[in-house]
Structure 1
Amino acid sequence: MMEIDPVPNGNANAETDGTTATSAAIAPPPARSSRLSQLTESLKLEHQLLRVPFEHYKKMIRAKHRAFEKEVSSVVSGVGDLTDSDWSKDDTVLHLTSLVSRLQGLKRKLEEGNNAENLQAQRCRARIDHLDSADAENFSEWNNTKLKRILVDYMLRMSYFDTATKLTESSNIQDLVDIDIFQEAKKVIDALENKEVAPALAWCADNKSRLKKSKSKFEFQLRLQEFIELVRADSADSYKHAIQYARKYLAPWGSTHMKELQHVVATLAFRSNTECIKYKSLFEPKQWDFLVLQFKQEFCKLYGMTLEPLLNIYLQAGLSALKTPFCYEEDCTKEDPLSQESFRNLALPLPYSKQHHSKLVCYISRELMDTENPPQVLPNGYVYSTKALKEMAEKNGGKITCPRTGYVCNYSDLVKAFIS
């Protein structure tokens, strides 16, 4: 913590990096080295920008590989059938024609897959070029593009697709955002909100290996919910179907999730109208909300996205960097964003900024006040740097005018402040 002595009325209006107080000063425009440092730190947060199209690219390659293996295996098997059986000439020609048609269909699918892969490869290239183009000269423009990307990311997560699309097109950043990925997710989310699990189960099947690798329980939770819906129907046929469903789809999970499995299967005895809280909660609508939330988390993990929108992360980081105990005091300077009640409420759950050192910046010259350029206190309590006040006195015949209050005094009336 920093102290300034002496100060006539306690109004030491000099700016620190967050541990004391003022309306005093705005830091000087960053130098080239400072901008390069900011740029380097900014690039460290761009993991998601490159990871998403790369993961989508890998997913397409895997899907194309599976389709190719399946079709080729089927065609080879079909040719083997011809050699092992006594087919007529016409039947053989018909069968071979069918196999050729399948191969032609496979060729079309592979070409479509190649086009989709090229699109993702183009996005990867565009994003690498975008990051590579950042330098100190165009830092402001590059940051403006980054802000638009962050806003689009937030809109897509909140399902504002039309607005996100318009901002993307007007800013020409189509290759830097992931509208198609989020549209894929929205189909599953809409279905779950309508109490349908089929699209979510299809998504799990498409990403089975990745979900298994991450030890995801999402598919199991979907199966449990389908079982619960069968029990909810409350009829002899529905109970029969529920038992058959449990044997087919839930039993394979018994080795790893037996406790949860037993809990849910017990609803066959307790029924949907039970008053037992332990089982009644399984029939509540909030279970579908839980599935939506779980899908969003699995979706983000699958593509290497942050679980929180980027906008939230940057806002929290910024507010936390500004937050100090002084921000909540009555005499907090109005130039501090956290002097506003709305910002204070947003920053309330966030940790205080970790400040190792404090510094004073002169309101007039925007230069650092230290032992080489010590602070001077005016009789009205405002603090400015010695260098700035000397220059002002030389130009005005030894007179000092406070730039914030208009107070006029002699240079000899100033009192030196000491930083400790």
Structure 2
Amino acid sequence: MLRMSYYDTAVKLAESRNIQDFVDIDIFQEAKKVIEALQNMEVGPALAWCAENKSRLKKSKSKFEFQLRLQEFIELVRAENNLRAITYAQKYLAPWGTTHMKEFQRVFVTVAYKSTTECATYKVLFEPKQWDYLVDQFKQEFCKLYGMTLEPLLNIYLQAGLSALKTPYCYDDDCTKEDPLSQEGFRKLAMPLPYSKQRHSKLVCYITKELMDTENPPQVLPNGYVYSTKALEEMARKNDGKITCPRTGLVCNFTDLVKAYIS
């Protein structure tokens, strides 16, 4: 909820469950101020945040501050304050020239083209969506700074679980009701996710931990438990043809077993 900017709801949830000490509400409230300012086309709070975290951002080779400065320069050009824009570029953008010269040059040329240009290369720099890019960039820098994943962990766990369960058979009409993906809600959530890499189940013997296949087929005991032929033959050889289920203690003859076939 905090990641998706539902701050008030997140605070109420934390209070109702008494988990305030386990969540990062204060940190996200700090981010909220920056995001709201960027959405209102203001770079001041974002620049202040960069100044507070300057050493850590520098260590991660962040160029977020440079992007903020570029946008502030663009706004001066949009307002036709060209002289002020040039002065601003000399003071705040020129120091970045050694590492971001191409981006600096491209933005600086807008002084000649102005905000009304139809040239696609420069017109895009004046579009409102540039502020959306800054919001997204800030969220990435914010998560990186505090060691958070870009995607919420809840989403990651849910996607991993659904992907592990997802096979082509889940979408068949005769899909078993025990399969979670037989439910329409889970099917919709799993739709964009990849199928599980292992499409076919593997049967592993409880006794020997070996794979049960056509060379070592599974045998079914009268109580319904299944073990490999190799394990049960070894057991019968040592116990005069008797088989003891290691999980239930049932004793039966080897001749009572029923071979199961793997399709």
- TM beyond 0.5: yes
Displacement after TM superposition at 1:346 (Å): 2.5
Q: Which of 138, 143, 146 is the matching residue for 1:303?
A: 146
The alpha-carbon deviation at position 186 of structure 1 amounts to 0.4
Aligned residue in 2 for 1:165: 11
| Structure 2 match to 1:91 | none
Structure 2 equivalent of residue 358 of structure 1: 202
Cα distance in 2, alignment partners of residues 340 and 266 from structure 1: 57
Residue by residue, what CA displacement relative to the aligned partner does 1:222-270 show, whole Å, maximum 9, x if unpaired?
A: 0000000001112xxx111000000000000000000000110111111
Aligned to 1:223: 69
**Does residue 196 in structure 1 map to residue 42 in structure 2?**
yes
1:232 aligned onto 2:68: no
* Residue 250 of structure 1, aligned match among 93, 117, 122: 93
Distance in 2 (alpha carbons) for counterparts of 1:349 and 1:316 = 10
Deviation at 1:197, TM superposition (A): 0.2
1:373 has 2:208 as partner:
no
Deviation at residue 175 of structure 1 after TM alignment:
1.5
Question: Counterpart amino acid of 1:167?
Answer: L
Higher-Rg structure is 1
Counterpart in 1 of 2:250?
none
Could you say which residue in structure 2 is the equivalent of 1:57? none
> Counterpart in 2 of 1:263?
106
Provide the rounded CA distance (Å) in 1 between the counterparts of 2:182 and 2:114: 56
User: What's the RMSD between the two structures over aligned residues?
Assistant: 2.1
Alignment of 1:102-121 (within 5 A): none
Letter in 2 for 1:350: L
Equivalent in 279, 282, 294 of residue 125 of structure 2? 282
Q: More helix per residue: 1 or 2? A: 1
TM-score (norm 1): 0.49
The CA deviation at 1:344 is 2.6
Cα shift at 1:296: 0.3
Deviation at 1:325, TM superposition (A): 1.7
CA distance in 1 between partners of 2:7 and 2:117 (Å): 41
* Letter of the 2:72 counterpart: E
1:79-118 pair list within 5 angstroms = none
Q: 2:223 — aligned with what? A: 387
Q: Percent identity?
A: 77
Cα distance between partner residues in 2 of 1:189 and 1:214: 21
Question: C-alpha distance in 2, partners of 1:300/1:252?
Answer: 26
| Structure 2 Cα separation of the partners of residues 267 and 334 of structure 1 | 62
Query: Offset of 1:342 from its aligned partner?
Result: 3.8
Asked whether the 8 Å contact 2:218–2:260 carries over to 1, the reply is no
Unaligned runs of 5+ in 1: 1-154, 361-369, 375-385, 390-414
User: For residues 328 and 283 of structure 1, what CA distance do their matches in structure 2 show?
Assistant: 47
Is the CA contact (8 Å cut-off) linking 2:5 and 2:32 kept in structure 1? yes
Deviation at 1:172, TM superposition (A): 1.8
Q: CA deviation at 1:372?
A: 4.7
Q: Which runs of 5+ in 2 are unaligned?
A: 205-216, 226-257
Aligned to 2:251: none
Tell me, in whole angstroms, the C-alpha distance in 1 between the residues paired with 2:11 and 2:85. Answer: 43
Measured against aligned partners, the alpha-carbon deviations of 1:263-302 in whole angstroms (never above 9, x if no partner) come to 1011111110111111110011110000000000000000
Superposition pairs for residues 334-353 of structure 1, below 5 Å? 334-353=177-196
Instruction: Give the Cα separation in 2 of the matches to 1:372 and 1:339.
Output: 29
Cα drift, residue 416 of structure 1: 5.7
TM-score by length of structure 2 reads 0.77
